[in-house]
Structure formats: C-alpha cells, structure tokens
Amino acid sequence: MRLSAQPPKHHRFPDHAAQSPLSQARRRAAHLDLSYLVPNALCFGTAVTLIALPGDLLATRLFSTDMSVGLSLYLLQAVALLATARRFDHRSARLLDPLQHAPAEANATAVPVQQIGGFR
Amino acid sequence: MNHSSTFLAAAADDPYALVLSSFMLFMVLALFGSVFAGLRGDSPSEFYIGDRQGSALKNGLALAGCYVSTSLLLSVTGVVATVGFDGITAATSVLLSMGVLLLLARPLQLSGSLTLGDLFSLRAPGTAPRVAAAVVTLAVTAPYLVAQLMAAGNVTAAFLGFSGIGVQQMCTVLIGGLVVTCGMLSGAKGLTVIQVIAAAVTLAAMIFASLAVLRLFHGDVGSLLTAADAHSIRPGRYLSTGGLINVGPTPRLDIAAGQVMTVLGGVCMPHVLSRVSAARDTATARRSVRYATGVVALVCVTVVILGMGASARVGADTILSGQSNADDSLMLVASSLDDRLGSGMSRLLFTALACAIFLSVLAVVGATTLAAAAALARDTYHHLVQRRQSDPTRELMVARIAVLLFGVLGILLAVLAQGRSTAFLAQLAMAVAASTVAPVLLYTFYWDRFNRTGLLWAVYGGIILSGGLAVSSPSASGSSQAFLPNADFAWFDHSTPVLVSVPAAFLLGWAGSLVGHRRAHRHQAEDASVTSAVLLVGRTAATAVATGRTAGRRPERSD
C-alpha cells in the first residue's frame, strides 16, 4: 500500500521507495516539529538562562536607548513564535495533512478503528 | 466610588447608572445567547466539546476566550504596574505557552479525545489511567475554578462600589450560580458563544485602553517607560528581574522556574486541551491555535502597556495602598483617563473593561467546570460505573449533575477563601498541570515505549510532589501575602514547586515505562505502534495500515 497524496516536487524529503508510508510520515513530522521547536526553544532557553544567572544582564540598555536586552529578547521571542507558527502551519498543511486521507481511499475495506485497540 | 454610587444611585440620575445598566444588559444578552445556542445539543460529546463544526476563526477566538483569564488581565497587569520586568516575563510566558499548544494541536485533534482520560488511554488502556485522569482534572480545575470565582467576586463588588468581604462573597455566589446554570443548560456549544464574545470584547477593550494610554504620552513608549519606572516600587530598577520574587535562597531560579511553569502549565489545562480537540480537522486545529496565539499576543502587549500606564498614571504606592496585591491596576488606570478622554468616553472604556473581565470569568469558569464535569461523567461514571455500556441520555444527565455539583463545591470553596490570595491557587493549578499532564502528553505523543506504569508513576508522583511542595512553600503560609498568612508550616524555600516536581515527574514517567516495559506483552507493543500511527496520520489512515495485522482481534467499543 502506498500513500497516494504526494508532496510537491520541491519538498526536502527524499521519497525512499523502501520506506513505509508511516515511517516517511514520521520523518516528515519530526522534521517539521524540530524546525518549529528549535528557534523557539533557543529563544526561551536563552531568556530562562539569563534570568537564572547572577548579574542583571537583561536590564542592560541597548545602545543608550530605552530598550533593554530583556525587552529585546522577549520581542524577538514573540516575533519568532508568530513567524515560525505561520511556517509550521503552512508546511504541515502541505506535507502532513494529505496523508490522513490517502490510505482510506486506497483501502476501502478498512475495519473500524475500535478493532485495532488502544482507544478504549 | 462609594456605597452611594451603586444601584440606589441609579435612581438619582447618576451617570454611573448608565454604566451599570449597559453592563447588565450586555451580560444578560450574552448569557441568553449562550443558552439559546446550547439548547440544540443533546449528545454527551456535544455537551463536552461542542459539535466540531466551527470555523478556524471561531475556534481560535473560543480558545483565546478560555485561555485569557483574570490572572492575565488583572494579576499580570498589576505585577507590571508595581515591579515591572517580572510582569513582562509572565506575559511573555503566557504567549509562549500558546506556541507549545500549536505543536500539540495535530496529535490532540487526531486523538479525538473528549477528556483527559481519553488522552491518557492512548498509551495505557484500562481503568487506572482513567481514574488518574479524573484525579488530575479535579486537582487542576478545582483550585483554578476557586481562584477565578474569587477574582470575579472581587471585580464585581469593586464595580458596584463595594469592598467588603461580605459583598464579595455575595457577588461570588451570584456569578458562580449564573455560570453553573449556564453551563448546565448549554454545555460546550453555548459556552463557545460566550468564549468568542469574551475574546472579541477583551481584545477590543484592551486595545482601546492601550491606545488611550499611549495617546497620553503622544505615542512615545520611551516616555511611558520612564514615567512607569519613576512611579514603580523600584525606581531605577523597573526593567530588572527579581521584583516579584526576592526571598528564598535562589530567587532568580524561582523566576525562571515560574516561567517554565506558566509555559507548560498553561497549555496543559484540561479545558484548553479539550478546546483544541474540538476542531473538526488538523488544519482547523492548527489554524485555531494560530489565531488564538495572535489574539493572546495582542492581549499580552496591551497588558504590558496598561500595566506601565497604571504605574505612570496612578503610581504603585496608590495601587498597593491597603492591599496585598495590585489586581485593581487595570480598573484604576481606566478610571485615571477621565480627564484626557472626557467623561463619556472614559465611562465607556471602564464599562468595556468591566464587561471584558466579567466575560473572561464566565468563559474560563464555564470551561473549567465543564472539563471537570466531563472527567466525572465520562472517565468515572461511563467507563467505571457503566463499564462502557452506551447510554447517552444517562451520561448526559450525569454530566449536567456533575456540572452542578462541581460548580456548587467551587462556589462554596471560593466563598470560604474570599479575601485570601488568589495567586497561590492559580499557581497550584498550573504547577499540578505542568507536573502531571505535561510529561504524560509529551511521552504519549513522542515516545512509543511510554506505558501504563510510566503514566501512573508520572501522574501520581507529579501530583504528590507539586501539591505537597506547593502547600509547603512560602506562597501557602508564613508570610503576609501567603494564602494562609496566620499559619506557618512552610519548609520548602522556593516559591514554586515545579523546580523539583516537573523534572521528577518526567523522570518517573521514564523509569516507570522501563519497569512496565518488562512486563508488557507482545500485543501491547503492537498497540503502541498503532497509537503512534493514529497520532501521526489519524484514525482512518492508521486503521487502513493496521488492517492486515489486526484481523481477528476482538473488537472493543470506544464509547
């Protein structure tokens, strides 16, 4: 069985014939999650570390303006979150969402999900 | 405002009567709309999470409505107004937790869960995880509900011009009764209407108020910041950390831990998770969270501006005079705009903010009560008492009774606790959620070997550690700002328990899964891979993949 909905040709995931559809989906999901998580986690980790460290680096003014390091970092966090969220949504819609419907179309005789366990 | 400016003054042609009448009229219309919208729903799943037909925008607004609580609107504004940077940190953490929710949106929607018990059962079928889920739901929602009801009583009493504990208790009972009645009659469908209105009104009122504050400073954020710094309780150190928590051996570490608690705890509230599950497909779920993130981001920015405005216009000393917290900052800054905006516009702004706060209380309290009722009716009654025998009418009746019982219990506890610190209760709820739900969800979604033993260890270990350490912390007793100021049994020096409880719960989940894995049977390993497939591509696709492998297995009902 093969997932019928293919991602666009310019996608970054090689279509390995030997891989099962689920492992392909898993790789794509992991890649998308990581590309969303890493920039946000870096910003958050930096802020938490700077808060926890002694000294008052976050209160340091940037170039004699009213803007401090802390405020700039939080602003960067917010912008990074909104930008990566938009990218994550679009890429998920393109690469992962089509996989939900493909096997059902390919296998019309699928049994109800209750029969496969795990959802009691 | 004093006692003369209340209902009696309405008869004396006081302009305040107009404000009060507008407020009452708006509330009645909103409640009527919610009950009317909810009357058509008659299945248990519709009662718990709605009909799954809403658009992404509607779902997003509803999610923002049940996420933006009085803790953000009142407490964080107060912290920004008095100590500055720690409040800005809290507002940023609230926003970041929406980012975590976006990551979880896809598996949450694909799991099709109605309650926390459904989520816990993904990797660990059986009754024990259901009971654990019900215990966690009640442990998280009960303190959160009480905190919200107490805040609602305070705000309403202040709005009516009273400040006594007795009036606050009366207001808590009235508002609580209203919300419980609304929840019983309408369920999630009606509540969605309230949540959408709450998000829209809150956003509009907060933006309007922020623009008014910025206009006073000619749009110059720098001069607003300078004025806020000058009138805060820490002049010259307004943008330094450590204003909120400055006791204990490691105050900076406590602030960082508080940030982690807000990010993990906020996203793991049962009512927030069920709101994401209510989306009709994964694309709608993700887009809903994105819209909600946008709304919450705007609200957080306005909270920071209004907090600075409160410090600059009112002054931290005035805000804190005779009070242990600065929760009145938002309404004080709205009142302080009278001379610049004109009395008519100022009253409109004041009324809009009061409506926003009241609606957010309705939205959050309603959602919390419903989540607790769903846990009682579905995870305990349906799965334990009825042994999954399908009887939707009876389950629905039990759910409505559960709303009533849980709501009444919450109102009673809120009345008893009125006048005490709400911050401790909100923190307790967040800490328990971060220490129990967060590890279980992350392991469930991203680790195939997570199993029943790991789940039970993480849940009960997390509850015991977070609850026990929170009760033993200085936030609970031993200081004038503690929940029990006259008692002193604090031995845990840190202000938040998550410093210990979150890493411990993750560790327990991992260790328990390793121990449980040795006892696992082969078919359980198969179930784990099918669960992973479902969380990746959905039930239909996973079923298609698993068809050959599972032929001949005995079917089990999900409902």
What is the phi/psi pair of residue A61, to 5°? Answer: -75, 145
The token pair at B136 is: 């966690």
Single-letter amino acid, residue B534: V
Tell me whether residue A84 is in a domain.
yes
**pLDDT over threshold 70, residue B539:** no
Range with top average pLDDT, B318-327, B500-509, B532-541 = B500-509
pLDDT tens-digit readout, A48-82: 888 888 777 888 887 777 788 888 899 999 999 99
Q: Of A58, A66, A78, which is closest to B241 when you measure between CB atoms?
A: A58
Tell me whether residue B520 is in a domain.
no
A94 and B CB contact within 8 Å: no
Tell me whether residue B551 is in a domain.
no
Q: Give every CB contact of residue A75 below 8 A, 6+ residues apart in sequence.
A: none
Q: Of A36, A102, A120, which is closest to B103 when you measure between CB atoms?
A: A36
Name the β-bridge partners of A61: A68
Q: pLDDT band for position B511 (50/70/90)?
A: very high
Contact between B270 and B430 under an 8 Å Cβ cutoff? The reply is no
Tell me whether residue A95 is in a domain.
yes
At B271 the pLDDT is 92
At B476 the pLDDT is 85
At B165 the pLDDT is 85
| Mean pLDDT lowest among A2-6, B25-29, B243-247, B294-298 | A2-6
Does residue B66 or residue B335 have the better pLDDT?
B66
Using a CB-CB cut-off of 8 Å, the residues of chain A touching B531 are 118
Q: Say if residue A27 is exposed, middle or buried (CB neighbours under 10 Å; 0-12, 13-18, 19+).
A: middle
Tell me whether residue B358 is in a domain.
yes
Q: Residue B552 and residue B548: Cα distance in Å, rounded?
A: 9
Q: What is the mean pLDDT of residues B152-172?
A: 82
Contact between B547 and A109 under an 8 Å Cβ cutoff? The reply is yes
- How many CB atoms lie under 10 A from the CB of residue A61? 12
State ipTM. Answer: 0.81
Share of chain B above pLDDT 90, in %: 33
What is the tally of structural domains in chain B?
1
Q: What is the mean pLDDT of residues A8-35?
A: 69
Q: Give every CB contact of residue B462 below 8 A, 6+ residues apart in sequence.
A: B432, B435, B436, B439, B501, B502, B504, B505, B508
What is the tally of structural domains in chain A?
1
The nearest CA of chain B is from the CA of A98 a distance in Å of 9
pLDDT tens-digit readout, B256-305: 888 889 999 999 999 999 999 888 888 999 999 999 999 999 999 999 99
pLDDT tens-digit readout, B358-388: 888 888 988 999 999 999 888 888 877 766 6
Tell me whether residue A119 is in a domain.
no
Q: Of A49, A66, A85, which is closest to B290 when you measure between CB atoms?
A: A85
The b/e string for B301-330 (b: 16+ C-beta within 10 A; e otherwise) is: bbbbbbbbbbbbbbbbeebbeeeebbbbbb
**pLDDT over threshold 80, residue B169:** yes
**pLDDT over threshold 80, residue B9:** no
The CATH number given to whatever domain includes residue B394 is 1.20.1730.10
Using a CB-CB cut-off of 8 Å, the residues of chain A touching B259 are 47-48, 51
**pLDDT over threshold 90, residue B202:** yes
Mutate to test the interface with A, among B102, B537, B558 (most CBs of A within 10 A): B537
A32 and B CB contact within 8 Å: no
Taking each helix axis from N to C terminus, what angle separates A69-95 and B282-313, rounded to the nearest 10 degrees?
170
**pLDDT over threshold 70, residue A28:** yes
Tell me whether residue B336 is in a domain.
yes
Parent domain of A34 = 22-104
Q: Of A47, A116, A120, which is closest to B121 when you measure between CB atoms?
A: A120
Parent domain of B413 = 16-419
**pLDDT over threshold 60, residue B7:** no
Contact between B80 and B225 under an 8 Å Cβ cutoff? The reply is no
A53 and B CB contact within 8 Å: yes
At A38 the pLDDT is 92
The b/e string for B356-390 (b: 16+ C-beta within 10 A; e otherwise) is: bbbbbbbbbbbbbbbbbbbbbbbbbbbbeeeeeee
Tell me whether residue B329 is in a domain.
yes
The token pair at A96 is: 């992962």
B293 with A25: Cβ contact below 8 A: no
Tell me whether residue B460 is in a domain.
no
